[in-house]
Amino acid sequence: MMERFSGVLAFVQAAEAGSFALAAERMGLSRSAVGKSIARLETHLGTRLFLRTTRRQSLTEDGQAFYERCVRALAELEAGTAALDSGRRAPTGRLRVSAPVMFGRHCAAPLLWELAQQHPGLEVEISFSDRVVDLIEDGYDLAVRVAPLADHAGLTARRLGAQEMLVCAAPAYLARHGHPATLAELDGHTAVVYGRNGISKPWRFPDGQGGEKIVSVPSRLRFDDVETIADAAVQGAGLAWLPCWLVAEHLRDGRLVAVLEQERRYGNEVYAVWPQNKHLPSKVRAAIDVLVARIPERLSSATLPDKPLRRRAKVGEEGLRIIE
């Protein structure tokens, strides 16, 4: 019975992933283990569940019917487990989290690592990617997002704060090229910018009227890593537009100086996002609680004058559920 049950799990994962290899990756198994498990299930059922070619696989008619029943059964099992788990005090099990690369490494991961240290029964698995993953399809329990949220039925979001951006430069660079006080004074300056595939990301500033001013500064240095941009700015390579949390220490010790302080600072909202669930598992609740409690202090760690941010419109009355 247990062997058949593991075969059902492998079958559902393979059907949803579209390949045995991806299903195996999600389950932490080898591809051959997943294939053998599904083969045993097919033998037990006396029917083929997948049509396989060298290029693709698809469900048979029997496979599609069996998949639909399996999904309903597993959903009931998951709901029952979550209902029991929500009453536990200590979070347990594997928590899969998706987070942007730099924000995840610097701001989210240390907090979740501390959470794992506090709860020996909790396993934390974090995937760092700037790609917006599909939490449900890719099997994540929670995601941290630093961007406007797209409406998505079946998800819930909790605002964690806002990531402010500022323009800064090394004192040596400013001594050579002058200290710009307005956007117009950026003419004649050079910048270290975020770029990928030959395309540079422009700098954005709120215009105070609900819109934004977009600025492109000449640059000979483009990186797709903001930490490298900060390092280059410290070395005097040019102006840089960076998150406050990343450069806070550089600003405090004088290696970087904030410029354009009269301009309002641009900020993307930061959210924790998770699949809607009537009974939220204790591991997800614990992670959300620590992010809500600790992320704001990391976002406000730069000792800079407070300036209003451009607020993003709320979305998702019918789909994405946002908790204030």
Domains by residue range for the chain, with CATH = 2-85 (1.10.10.10), 93-162+267-323 (3.40.190.10), 164-259 (3.40.190.10)
**Binning pLDDT at 50, 70 and 90, where does residue 87 land?**
low
pLDDT digit string (tens) for 128-174? Answer: 988 888 888 888 999 999 987 776 768 889 999 988 899 999 999 99
Query: Tell me: the pLDDT tens digits for 186-217?
Result: 988 999 999 887 788 889 888 878 788 888 88
Between 323 and 108, name the one with better pLDDT. 108
Q: How many CB atoms lie within 10 A of CB 137?
A: 10
Q: Where are the alpha helices (DSSP H) in the chain?
A: 2-17, 20-27, 31-45, 61-85, 101-103, 109-118, 135-138, 171-177, 226-234, 244-253, 282-299
Collect all residues with Cβ–Cβ distance below 8 Å to 109 and sequence separation of at least 6. 99, 126
The percentage of residues in the chain with a pLDDT greater than 90, rounded to a whole number, is 40
Bridge partners (DSSP) of residue 256 are: none
Q: Residues of the chain with pLDDT > 70: what percent?
A: 85
pLDDT value, residue 124: 95
Q: What is the reported pTM?
A: 0.66
- Give the DSSP letter of residue 151: P
Higher pLDDT, 296 or 315: 296
Q: Is the pLDDT of residue 281 over 90?
A: no
- Strand bridging mode 203-206 / 212-215: antiparallel
Kindly state the tokens that stand for 49.
């569940």
What pLDDT was estimated at residue 7?
84
Per-residue exposure over 103-119, b if at least 16 CB sit within 10 Å of its own CB, e if not: bbebbbbeebeebbeeb
Task: Tell me what pLDDT residue 231 has.
Answer: 96
| Confidence at 314, pLDDT banded by 50, 70, 90 | very low
